[in-house]
Structure 1
Amino acid sequence: MAAKRKVEVFSAGCSACEEAITLIKSIACPSCEVNVLDMRDMDVVKRAKALGVRSVPAVAIDGTLASCCAGRGVDEASLRLAGLGRAA
């Protein structure tokens, strides 16, 4: 069995976050393991800080913050370039 691509979505539960989660889930492939993480949890906040998350929604793919999420917000093209929607 092929390795799963780990997708972490950092969310505060706002409508922008929900919209991003819907987009991510719609383009994720069967090899993508999508985990929505609640920024109201201090362990999630620590993980987000370690990855360089500065705003939400933010997405990390295989432990790397997607370029679209480095201060600008979620962007489908950047997520696809980072590997979302493709087998690992």
Structure 2
Amino acid sequence: MRKIEVFSAGCPCCDEAVIAVKAAACSSCDVQVRDMKDPTVAADAKRYGISRVPAVVIDGKLADCCASGAIDIDTLRSMGLGRP
């Protein structure tokens, strides 16, 4: 099972990212939406190096696109999104 974490602030941009990630996910993808308003989630985000949302972490690794700009589904797919 591939673990996909979407860090979100609940804004429209984050909601779009959640929808896109869920649409690209496969049955072996465990997609978790993490609310940055929760201090525990914010602490986890800091450990991953997340400085902006939305951000996606796949199997413990922050997607490169999320470190420098908007979510890119092709980049996420190259990291395993949508593949068992």
Q: TM-score, normalised by structure 2?
A: 0.98
Answering whether residue 21 of structure 2 is matched by residue 27 of structure 1, we say: no
Give 1:73 shift: 1.8
Q: Which runs of 5+ in 1 are unaligned?
A: none
Segments ≥4 residues shifted beyond 6 Å: none
What do you get for the CA RMSD once the two structures are aligned?
0.5
In the alignment, which residue of structure 2 is the partner of 1:5?
2
1:77 to 74, 77, 83: 74
Q: Which runs of 5+ in 2 are unaligned?
A: none
Q: Distance in 2 between matches of 1:28 and 1:62?
A: 13
Q: Secondary structure at the match of 1:70?
A: helix
Q: Distance in 2 between matches of 1:49 and 1:29?
A: 27
Q: Which amino acid aligns with 1:9?
A: V
Q: Secondary structure at the match of 2:68?
A: coil
Give 1:35 shift: 0.2
Give 1:38 shift: 0.2
Count matched residues: 84
Q: Distance in 1 between matches of 2:42 and 2:51?
A: 10
